[in-house]
Amino acid sequence: MAGFRHEHNFRELGGYKTKDGRTVKKGMFYRSGALAFMDERELAAVGRLGLKSVVDLRSTIEHITFPDPPIDGATNYHYTAMNDNDLNEIDYSSRKMILMAMKEPGLNKMESFGKHLYAHVSFDNDAYYKMFQLILRERVPMLFHCTQGKDRTGIAAMLILLLLGVDEETILDDFELTNKYRKSLIKEQMSRFRILSRLSKNIRTFLWVKEGVCRSFAAYALTTIQRRYPSYEDFFRTEYDLSAEDIAKIRDLYLE
């Protein structure tokens, strides 16, 4: 969006067409990287959006180290979006993932890990459940973010668009826009690790430089949902306690 540096991956979900011919309303849902990294001009632009909710999807350590600045009129919510099977928080910052890539030299292992992680966090996720409850209660306009606005934020955006009835290819196209927005940042990050040539493929996987990797992660999550449930409505009802009436209400509120 105008007024924001591309590396913040700041954009909105409005304007997309749904399968039933409606359009996602503009000015309702915004996604980005961490607000703590924005300058005064960018934060002033955020302040003009009329936000009611800012949802921080990062781990507690990320949230404490780089806290969200207050935004006039908005309530800040911290909901950790990535937990393991034992409900322990996963630090999914780029630094942590690069360290993991250094420990696990097998590229296939890294890609498989990424896909399964995306599928795992798409189900029964308390952070996304709470986010949907805010949406249901009309606590919008809403901005949701993680550190770089790509993984935890990308899944949140995918689920919101899915709930609103946007088709899968459009959702995947939106997901892939992150590479365009973060192109300069990815280039900068890769230059730091140039000397680690034997690890470069793993690092490129986690930084989404490898062609098609981000789309494949998101597509795997969608495919996993389709395998487990006969419809997306069944998925949202079972995993996020959204009834048919809730889904209809959300679509009436945020589509035109």
pLDDT at 16: 98
**pLDDT above 80 (res 77):** yes
The total of structural domains in the chain comes to 1
Return the closest-CA partner of residue 150 out of 217, 219, 83, 84: 217
Q: Mean pLDDT of all residues in the chain?
A: 84
Residue 1 placed within a domain:
no
List, as one string, the DSSP characters of 5-35.
Answer: -GGG--EE-TTPBPTTS-BBPTTSEEEES-G
Which CATH number does the domain housing residue 131 bear?
A: 3.90.190.10
Instruction: Give residue-wise pLDDT tens across range 238-249.
Output: 999 999 999 999
**193 part of a folded domain:** yes
The pLDDT-based confidence of 22 (bands split at 50, 70, 90) is: very high
Helix (H, G, I), strand (E, B) or coil at 194: coil
Residue 102 lies in a domain: yes
Q: pLDDT band at 53, cuts 50/70/90?
A: very high
pLDDT of residue 171: 97
Are residues 134 and 53 in contact, defined by beta-carbon separation less than 8 angstroms? yes
Cα angle value 205/184/150 (rounded, 5°): 50
Higher-pLDDT residue of 10, 98: 10
pLDDT for 158-217, tens place per residue? Answer: 999 999 999 999 999 999 888 776 555 555 555 555 544 444 555 554 544 454 577 888
41 vs 7, residue with greater confidence:
41
**Where is pLDDT greater, at 157 or 206?**
157
Q: Is residue 60 part of a domain?
A: yes
Nearest 5°: the CA angle 159, 162, 167 is 140
- 11, 31 contact by CB (below 8 A): yes
Instruction: Look at residue 179 in the predicted model and tell me its pLDDT.
Output: 73
* Per-residue pLDDT tens digits for 87-131: 566 665 555 555 554 454 444 555 666 777 788 899 999 999 999
Domain containing 105 equals 6-254
Q: What is the per-residue pLDDT for 33? A: 92
Cα separation, 160 vs 182, whole angstroms:
22
Given this model, what pLDDT does residue 117 score? 78
